[in-house]
Amino acid sequence: MKISILGAGHAGTAVAADLSLNGHSVSLIKTSNAMHDDHFNYLMENNGSVRLIEDGKTKSTTIKQITRDLSPISESEIVIIYIQTNYHESLIKRICPYLRDGQILLINPGYLSTAYVLKYCSDIDLTIVEAQSSFIDCRISQPGTVKVLFRNRRNPLGIYPVNHLEKAKHQLNKLGYPFVYLSSVVEAALHNPNLIVHTVGGIMSMPRVEKTKGEYYMYREVFTSSVWRIVEALDDEKMNVMERLGCKRMTYLEACKYRNTLDDSQDAKDVFISYANIPNPLKGPTRVDSRFIAEDVPQGLVLLETIGAECLVKTPICTSLIEIASAALDRDLRAEGRTVNRLGKNILKQIIQEVGDN
Domain ranges of the chain: 2-190, 193-357
* Amino acid occupying residue 219: Y
Q: Do domains 2-190 and 193-357 have the same CATH topology?
A: no
- Mean pLDDT, 10 residues at a time, over the chain (358 residues)? 97 97 97 84 96 96 97 98 96 98 97 98 97 95 95 97 96 97 96 97 96 90 96 98 95 96 94 86 88 97 98 98 98 96 96 78
pLDDT at 280: 74
Distance CA 344, CA 248 (A): 24
Distance CA 64, CA 25 (A): 6
For residues 352, 353, 355, 358, the Cα torsion angle rounded to the nearest 10 degrees is -170
DSSP state letter for 248? P
154 contacts 178 by C-beta, under 8 angstroms = yes
- Domain 2-190 CATH class label: alpha beta
**116 three-class SS:** helix
Distance CA 31, CA 79 (A): 13
CATH fold, domain 193-357, is N-(1-d-carboxylethyl)-l-norvaline Dehydrogenase; domain 2 (1.10.1040)
Strands 25-29 and 2-6: parallel
